[in-house]
Amino acid sequence: MRFFSTQTPLVHRRTWQWLVPVVCVLLFLTTVIWLPHQAQQMESTERQEQLIADTLWVEQTIRFQLGRNEDDIRSLANQIASGQLVDEKLQNRMHFLLRTHPELTRIAWIDAQGRGMASDQKASFSLQDLPEPLRQKLERIRTTLAPEYSQPDPPSDARHPALMDYFFPIHQGGRYTGCVIVTYSLTGVLEQMVPWWFAQKNEIQLTDRHERLLGQRTAGGTGRGVYTYAHDLHLPYADITLRTDSVKGPPKLLPNLLIVVIVALTLGLFWSLAALWRDINRRMAVERALREQIAFRTAMEDSLVTGLRVYDLNGRITYVNPAFCRMVGMSAEKLVGLTPPMPYWAPEVIEECQARFAQRIAGKINSHGFETIFLRHDQERFPVLIYESALVDESGRQTGWMSSILDISDRKRFEELNRRQQEKLQASARLVTMGELASTLAHELNQPLAAITSYTTGALNMLADQAACQGEHGIARIRGALEKANAQAQRAGHVIRSVHTFTKRREPRREKVDLSELIADVVQLAELQASRHFITIKAEVAPGTQTVLADPMMLGQVLLNLTRNAIEAMRDMEPARRFLHISAEADPQAPDSVRISVADRGCGIPQHARERLFSPFFSTKADGMGMGLKICRTIVESHGSALTYADDPDGGTIFRFSLHAATTAET
């Protein structure tokens, strides 16, 4: 009993192991045997349906062409009724219709009195010349006033095809005035109106209600009688049926179809197994390479100091790297899924960030990057530089945006430090310039001071002489001496103020600058050095260019450095060439700008010094620092312009730069 109970499950398992494959094989064989017969039946049905569809299409084509002919006949009848076609014109029109419609064999016209004209007769004929069936048809049409087709008779022999007449009555105001009779050749109808491709595949016949042959168009083939179809043309008063007989025979089965199918399926099975094994190995290799690439990308992204952030098309964050998380002090779990406005946007730039996000939605991306302010988790603000690009999938469809974020706090601190160093360097350069002018400045101040001493001494002497002070003449002499002393004091004070303005440090700013006054101050300081070398300075400011937007202190430093360099270049020249020209005029290349030029007639710039002219610590003078032109170029570039030079046609060098002209709104 125990043995039976242990063997029974094994027997059942073995039975199922054999039964399942046998059932599968039987199903497979049944399917293989059934499928060819089913395919044959489906192909046969498909051919019959195709024949029916093509026959209906041909029937519609014939009906459409007959309808076009009816329109031409109607046009002919209307022209006859209106009197436009008579005699020779009518004959010409009939012959034209016969040439354009080969399926027509004859066209005739009969008036209300039974007189008419035919296309195959030059003379007119009467109603009595027509056969009796045609005269009866005309009598009925005279009453009904409706177009009709005649019932064609079977042809007597193959040389005379069956003919069918079409009667179109002419009437005016309900009164019968005539009739146009058109005769069709039914064989011509098949030849002209049935497409050639359909005639090659099918035998086409026209029969009457008794299935008597009226016309046919036959194609070669051995499949007649297998696929046939008949359809009535539905012509008024004419029973004509269109019959088609396909030349295709019934589909045949290959004798060894089963063997071919089994062998093909077996070979296909082995090929499928081999291909499946190959694809599995390739897929495993690709997955292994993908895991390696993911590990490599993850390690690379974790080591980056540049923040990466991915948006989808709705602005939702889908990915951030660890560097971005460290920047804003938030974890990736908190950042992924957020939508604008973002918590790391600084309050003062929220509107700006919203506007940029709207531009991204519209497809406008700034490929050059932009700067903005982010907020750390502890509310600390820090500047960032962001570059963005479109993120597309393998099909080229955009799925979002990729952003690269750089923390530029250190760069901003370096730029601020560099700016301060530049200001210190400019201040030092101004002090050096003043040191170089110290002796000349002392001589310049000594003259008004000596004059003040002389005038005040004379006034004191006149006050000591009581007699000299009596009367209007004495008081006028004392007043004149004091006024001259006051003028010399103001002269000395103006020189000191100019030096003080030039040397003091302050923050750069843009304001309205009067070029006439600024150039006059620079000329006054430059003349301290120019007078020692007998150099003439001429300043010209064209009308309409008196005011510009600039920093007056920096602009004065540029002009003073350029004039001093020009004086140095001309001090050893012959006296006739010691001429310095400072001018301001409208820039011909920029209508809203003023071009300032400093031209000398010195020795010019040597060829070997041109490439390094603006380099720091490079100078053509033995005692020069090599920072003057470098500082001038930096100041001009900070004003949005460029310092250039060119050879003067009269000898020497011209330095030029442009500044933005001040408008009324800006002032």
- The SS3 assignment for 27 reads helix
Please determine, for residue 649, whether its predicted confidence score (pLDDT) is greater than 70: yes
- Distance separating alpha carbons of residues 519 and 584, to the nearest angstrom: 10
- Position 389 confidence tier, pLDDT thresholds 50, 70, 90: confident
Give phi and psi for 310, each to the nearest 5.
-120, 130
Q: Are strands 644-647 and 163-172 parallel, antiparallel or unpaired?
A: unpaired
Is 50 exceeded by the pLDDT of residue 596?
yes
CA distance 44 to 462: 145
| Confidence category of residue 437, pLDDT binned at 50, 70, 90 | low
279 versus 625: the higher-pLDDT residue is 279
Residue 5 has pLDDT above 50, yes or no: no
Q: SS3 for 541?
A: strand
pLDDT exceeds 50 at position 343: yes
Chain mean pLDDT for the chain: 77
Task: For the domain covering 507-667, report its CATH number.
Answer: 3.30.565.10
Q: What average pLDDT score do residues 411-435 get?
A: 66
Q: Identify the band that residue 667 occupies on the pLDDT scale cut at 50, 70 and 90.
A: very low
DSSP-based three-state secondary structure for 600:
coil
Q: Span 604-615, mean pLDDT?
A: 69
Burial 75-109 (b: 16+ CB within 10 A, else e): ebbeebeeeebeeeebbebbeebbeebebbbbbbb
Class of domain 49-251: alpha beta
Domain boundaries, the chain: 49-251, 254-290, 304-407, 408-505, 507-667
Residue 105 contacts residue 185 (beta carbons within 8 Å): yes
pLDDT digits (tens, 9 = 90+) for 32-76: 667 667 767 777 788 888 888 888 998 899 889 999 999 999 998
Domains 49-251 and 304-407 are alike in CATH topology: yes
Q: 196-235 in b/e burial notation, b at 16+ Cβ within 10 A? A: eebbebbbbbbbbeeeeebbbbebeeebbebbbbeeebeb
Are the C-beta atoms of residues 575 and 534 closer than 8 Å to each other?
A: yes
State the pLDDT at residue 257.
59
pLDDT of 249: 72
Structure tokens at 608: 């070997």
Q: Specify whether the CB–CB gap between 163 and 183 falls below 8 A.
A: yes
Per-residue pLDDT, 184: 92
Are 35 and 253 a contacting pair, CB within 8 Å?
no
DSSP H helices in 194-256: 196-201
If you search the block for the tokens 């430059």, which residue do you land on? 526
| Tokens 């076609």, residue located | 85
- State the Cα torsion 321-323-326-331 to the nearest 10°: 10
Q: What pLDDT is recorded for position 196?
A: 83
Mean pLDDT computed over 487-502: 59
What is residue 221's predicted lDDT score, i.e. its pLDDT?
61
Average pLDDT over residues 567-589: 86
Side chain identity, residue 56: L
Q: What is the pLDDT of residue 573?
A: 84
Q: Please give the share of the chain, as a percent, with pLDDT higher than 90.
A: 3
The average pLDDT across 302-329 equals 82
Indicate whether 615 pLDDT > 60.
no
Q: What is the mean pLDDT of residues 282-293?
A: 86
DSSP 301-362: HHH-SSEEEEEETTS-EEEE-HHHHHHHT--HHHHTT--SSPTTB-GGGHHHHHHHHHHHHT
Confidence of residue 182 (pLDDT cuts 50, 70, 90): very high
Average pLDDT over residues 651-656: 87
Q: How many Cα atoms are found within 13 Å in the side-chain-facing hemisphere of 639?
A: 29
At residue 445, the pLDDT reads: 58
CB distance 253 to 261 below 8 Å: no
- What pLDDT score does 283 carry? 87
Task: Quote the pTM value.
Answer: 0.38
Q: What is the pLDDT of residue 80?
A: 85
| CA atoms 387, 391, 396, 399: torsion sign | negative
Residue 664 predicted with pLDDT over 70: no
Of the pLDDT bands very low, low, confident and very high (cuts 50, 70, 90), residue 346 is: confident
**Residue with the two structure tokens 């540049």:** 306
Q: What superfamily does domain 304-407 belong to in CATH?
A: PAS domain (3.30.450.20)
User: How many angstroms separate the most distant Cα atoms in the chain?
Assistant: 169
- The CATH number for 408-505, chosen from 2.30.30, 1.10.287, 1.20.1740, 1.10.3470, is 1.10.287
Q: For residue 19, name the pLDDT band (cuts at 50, 70, 90).
A: low
Count of positions (residues) in the chain: 667
**CB-side exposure of 427: number of CA atoms within 13 Å?**
12
What is the rounded CA–CA span in Å between residue 633 and residue 626? 12
Q: 498 and 469 in contact (C-beta within 8 Å)?
A: no
Binned at pLDDT 50, 70 and 90, residue 299 comes out as confident
The pLDDT value recorded for residue 623 is 46
Residue indicated by tokens 């009067």 = 514
Query: Before 255, cis peptide (omega within 30)?
Result: no
Q: Are 119 and 91 in contact (CB under 8 A)?
A: yes
Contact 120, 108 (CB under 8 A): no
3-class SS of residue 93: helix
pLDDT above 70 (res 462): no
Highest mean pLDDT among 160-169, 464-473, 506-515: 160-169
Structure tokens at 225: 């009688």
Whole-number pLDDT of residue 175: 85
The proportion of the chain whose per-residue pLDDT surpasses 70, expressed as a percent, equals 72
> Residues 544-554: pLDDT tens digits?
777 888 888 77
Higher pLDDT, 307 or 458: 307
More confident residue, 470 or 334: 334
